[in-house]
Amino acid sequence: MKYPLLSVLLLTLFAACSKDNSREDKAAWLEIRLSPEMNSSAFQANANYSNIYGELLRPTSFKFYLGQFKLTKTDGSIVSLDQYNLVDFNDTASFRIRMEVSPGQYSHLQYQFGVDSARNVSGVQSGPLDPLLGMFWTWNSGYIFLKLEGNSTASNQANGKFEYHIGGFRSPYSAIRTLETDFAADESGQLGSGQTLRVNLSVQMDNFFAGAHPLRIADTATVMTPGERAAQIADNFAACFSTTNYQVQ
Amino acid sequence: MRNLLTWISFGLCSVAVFALACNKQKDVVTEPIVFKAPDGWPATVYDFNANPITNAGFALGKKLFYDGKLSKDGNFPCGSCHQQFAAFSNYDHDFSHGFNNQFTTRNAPALNNLAWQSAFHRDGGISNLDLQPLAPITAPNEMAETIPHVLAKLAADPDYPALFKAAFADGAINTANMTKALSQFMLMLVSADAKYDQVKAGTASFDVNEAAGYALFQSKGCTNCHAEPLFTNNAYVNDNLPVDPVRNDVGRMAITGDAADYGKFKVPSLRNVAFSFPYMHDGRFGSLSEVMSHYAQTISLNAGEQDLLIAFLQTLTDSSLTKNPLFSPDVDVPQVHIHN
């Protein structure tokens, strides 16, 4: 941030101005906590795992885009957070995504794996979407939504390498997937000002290989382009997500 | 005493005038660089609102375009494969040379009228002009660099930080600003003052061969793809060229994954076509005569008609592009000095 002092001043000013407003206008937070796992343990770099086909694998890189969080209130109004986050298993701080929202009774959370088509084609983006982060295909404009790279004895590539670069925003092989969490109709989704609605998401990487479209490293050690296979793996990855629990704190 | 003061102030003024004269590049107020769409042309595609052209932005873009720093070993600036005297194509090269004695995989296209194009590369894989430079910069067989490393080199350079500050409000040396500056330079490569354009404007006239060639150009259906005034319809077409087994270039299909796009390539503009040889996506034809022979297989064109068509195509040569000092690597861009 270029003007930290100015931002603090503005925030203070904003806080001061909104002091007398109703409780609804004060800040609250949505916090997403991601827990990538495989074989019932944390999914991390250079650890050993096996998929359901018995193929041994050791991941070296695992990154993906998650964003466009949308919270629906029980009155039907929607809080949209037009932002993207690059989750990287070598940067555990990226497992925690914290966003300011308004207080209220929430019933539903929607979020997106991948990057919307407009941002794929409308020039060079900044921040988490800066192409310099390497999550961009320069020769076929578009974001790589997910990178999973590593080594496996099952791979037929040099050094037993496997490399899955999943993306694509064009029909019919869009790899964008929308994910959802429902909150119970009781008071548990009631978010007061100053409070945080924390949603714990599990990312079970076993499903990446064992999902609706079986992915055997021996058969497919590399997927590097948008297309049917990438879209299938996006289905598998979407099936990796589940809501462990949520609470207001 | 009074005299002395007068002399001193005169002296100071002279120094100031002298300093101004020495610093001419910076302080002379010149005409701003303005993008002007020629009258009667279709609407531009590029979003100028998101990247308004300024002299400082254009000057930065031009410096970047001709700077080897954007390549790994310093030998391959954008301008090495897009040479002004060759209408920003690569003169007499089917494939261009890249890092470590490697060839590119397709013929470097001539650059002109890019504000009217919605997709770039022979296969249209790149959807925005700002995104285009990222491909050659990072291709291992072209400039072979990484974006973070290029930005680090620019940040460490004695000149670039000030140039970025002058060109962009946030002054940041980042991917977006670097590519926007490059776009500003490339967008100005407008070709709209060839003899053809002058004839259209009524300030010149075709000779008898050119006029006959123009009539053939229309009657033989060339304009179906090479539509005036841009001389392209920006579509993807399979031109019945046998696929080279070494390259096995499937063209547009590599982007869409659609078998119907096998062997299709983007229709190139014919502007400055006399300068952009060799021709086709892989530079397989060295001359316009060879191109004509190819089309004569599917279109009825006798030898005389082919010559007339070539005579017409030569009227698309635009020296206001190929010889304009504004685009020359050797000429500084005048800066607009804004007095507040």
pLDDT reading at B20 higher than 50: no
Cβ neighbours around A69 below 10 Å, total: 22
Give yes or no for A232 touching B (CB within 8 A). no
Closest alpha carbon to B292 in B213, B208, B211, B228: B213
Whether residue B28 has pLDDT greater than 80? no
Distance CA B207, CA A188 (A): 84
Q: CA nearest A118 in B: which residue?
A: B127
**CB-nearest partner of A141 from B126, B179, B254:** B126
Q: B113 and B222, same structural domain?
A: no
Within 8 A of B180 by CB-CB distance, chain A residues are: 123-124
- The whole-number average pLDDT for the span B5-34 is 52
Instruction: Chain B: give the shortest CA distance to residue A229, in Å.
Output: 11
Cβ neighbours of A132 in B, within 8 Å: 146-148, 151, 174-175
Minimal Cα–Cα distance from B258 to chain A, Å? 9
| Shortest Cα–Cα distance, A125 to chain B (Å) | 7
State whether B186 and B106 are in the same domain.
yes
Chosen for mutation from B134, B137, B146, B266 (greatest number of chain A CBs closer than 10 Å) is B134
For residues B172 and A164, give the distance between their C-alpha atoms in angstroms, rounded to a whole number: 33
Query: Number of Cβ pairs closer than 8 Å across A and B?
Result: 71
**Mean per-residue pLDDT, B193-205:** 98
Print pLDDT tens along chain A (249 aa). Answer: 445 444 444 444 444 444 444 444 579 999 999 999 999 999 999 999 999 999 999 999 999 999 999 999 999 999 999 999 999 999 999 999 999 999 999 999 999 999 999 999 888 999 999 999 999 999 999 999 999 999 999 999 999 999 999 999 998 999 999 999 999 877 777 899 999 999 999 999 999 999 999 999 999 999 999 999 999 999 999 999 999 999 999
| Helix, strand, coil share (%) of chain B residues, nearest 5 | 45, 5, 50
Alpha-carbon dihedral B126, B131, B132, B133, rounded to 10 degrees: -150
Q: How confident is the model over B43-57, as a mean pLDDT? A: 97
In a domain, B19, yes or no: no
Q: Say whether A130 and B174 touch across the interface (CB within 8 A).
A: yes
Q: What is the pLDDT at residue B82? A: 96
Please tell me the distance in Å from B1's CA to the nearest CA on chain A. 52
| Chain A residues in contact with B125 (beta carbon < 8 A) | 139-141
Under 8 Å between Cβ of A128 and A63 = no
**Side-chain half-sphere CA neighbours of A217 within 13 A:** 27
**A226–B176 C-beta distance less than 8 A:** no
Q: How many CB atoms lie within 10 A of CB B231?
A: 25
Are B185 and B212 in a shared domain? Answer: no
Residue B254 touches chain A, beta carbons under 8 Å: yes
Within 10 angstroms of residue A22's Cβ, the number of other Cβ atoms is: 9
Q: Model pTM?
A: 0.85
Strands A56-73 and A78-88: antiparallel
Q: Residues A123, B131: contact at Cβ < 8 Å?
A: yes
Q: Which pLDDT does position B330 carry in this prediction?
A: 80
Instruction: Give the pLDDT band (50/70/90) at residue B337.
Output: low
Tens digits of per-residue pLDDT, B146-175?
999 999 999 999 999 999 999 999 999 999
Residue B34 domain-assigned (yes or no): no
Q: Give B256-275 as a DSSP string.
A: H--GGGTTEEEPPP-TTGGG
Say which of B50, B127, B134 has its CB closest to residue A131. Answer: B134
Q: Give the residue carrying structure tokens 């006959």.
A: B212
Q: Which of B125, B158, B191 is the last residue of a domain?
A: B191
Nearest to A199 by CA among A90, A81, A119: A81
H helices of chain B, in order, are 2-22, 24-27, 55-65, 78-81, 134-138, 147-156, 160-167, 175-187, 195-200, 208-219, 253-256, 288-295, 303-313, 319-322
Domain count, chain B: 2
B177 and B230 co-located in one domain:
no
Q: Find out whether B317 and B41 touch, Cβ atoms under 8 Å.
A: no
Q: Which position has the token pair 């940041």?
A: B172
pLDDT-derived band of residue B3, with 50, 70 and 90 as boundaries? low
Q: Would you state the pLDDT for residue A25?
A: 55
On whether both B315 and B209 belong to a single domain, the answer is: yes
Nearest Cα to Cα of residue A42 among A242, A204, A200? A204
Closest by Cβ to B127, choosing from A141, A173, A226: A141
Same domain, yes or no: B136 and B57: yes
**CB nearest to B147's CB, from A121, A131, A140:** A131
Please, is B12 exposed, middle or buried when counting C-beta atoms within 10 Å of its C-beta (0-12, 13-18, 19+)?
exposed
The structural domains of chain A, with segments of one domain joined by +, span: 36-248
Tell me the percentage of chain B whose pLDDT exceeds 70: 89
Q: Nearest-CA distance from B106 to chain A in Å?
A: 13
Whether residue B137 is found in the same domain as residue B244: no
Give the minimum alpha-carbon distance from B254 to chain A in angstroms, rounded to a whole number. 9
Domain boundary at B133, B167, B191, which?
B191
The ipTM (two decimal places) reads 0.80
Which tops the pLDDT comparison, B6 or A66?
A66
Query: Which residues constitute the domain of residue B92?
Result: 48-191
CA A71 to chain centre: 15
Give the residues across from A180 on adjacent strands: A110
- Helix (H), strand (E) at residue A105: strand A104-113
If we measure between CA atoms, which residue out of A113, A171, A163, A172 comes closest to residue A143? A113
Report the pLDDT value the prediction gives residue A17, as an integer from 0 to 100. 43
Radius of gyration, CA atoms only, chain A: 20
Last residue of a domain, one of B169, B191, B213: B191
Please tell me what DSSP assigns to residue B42: P
CATH code, B163: 1.10.760.10
Residue A213 in contact with residue A238, Cβ under 8 Å?
no
Alpha-carbon Rg for chain B, nearest whole angstrom, is 23
Question: Is the model's pLDDT at B126 over the cut of 50?
Answer: yes
B222 and B92 in one domain?
no
Cα–Cα distance list, A147 to A87, A141, A173, A225, B25 (Å): 10, 16, 17, 12, 48
Q: What is the pLDDT of residue B336?
A: 64
Mean pLDDT of B27-39: 80
- B325: CB partners within 8 A, 6+ apart: B331
The residues facing A91 across adjacent strands are: A88
Contact B131 A132 (CB under 8 A): no
Q: For residue range B222-281, list pLDDT tens digits in order.
A: 999 999 999 999 999 999 999 999 999 999 999 988 899 999 999 999 999 999 999 999
Residues B225 and B286 in one domain: yes
Asked if B228 contacts B265 with a C-beta cutoff of 8 angstroms, the reply is no
A212, A218 Cβ separation under 8 angstroms: no
Instruction: Tell whether B158 is within 8 A of chain A (Cβ).
Output: no
B251 and B295 belong to one structural domain: yes
pLDDT at B162: 97
The C-alpha angle A213, A218, A223, rounded to 5 degrees, equals 60
As given in the structure block, the two tokens for residue A156 are 């037929």
β-bridge partners, A30: A99, A197
Identify whether residues B307 and B276 lie together within a single domain.
Answer: yes
Q: Tell me whether the omega of the peptide bond preceding residue B229 falls within 30 degrees of 0, making it cis.
A: yes
Residue of B nearest to A125 (CA): B176
* Contact with chain B for residue A173, Cβ under 8 A: yes
Are A139 and B135 a contacting pair at CB < 8 A? yes
Q: Above pLDDT 90, what percent of chain B?
A: 85
A138 touches B: beta carbon within 8 Å:
yes
A141 part of contact set with chain B, CB < 8 Å: yes
Residues B64 and B156 in one domain: yes
Parallel, antiparallel, or unpaired: how do β-strands A28-38 and A196-204 relate?
parallel
- Does B339 have pLDDT greater than 80? no
Q: Using the beta-carbon criterion (under 8 Å), do B175 and A124 form an inter-chain contact?
A: yes
* pLDDT in the model for residue A19: 42
Q: How many CB atoms lie within 10 A of CB A8?
A: 11
Question: For residue A171, which residues of chain B lie inside 8 Å, CB to CB?
Answer: none
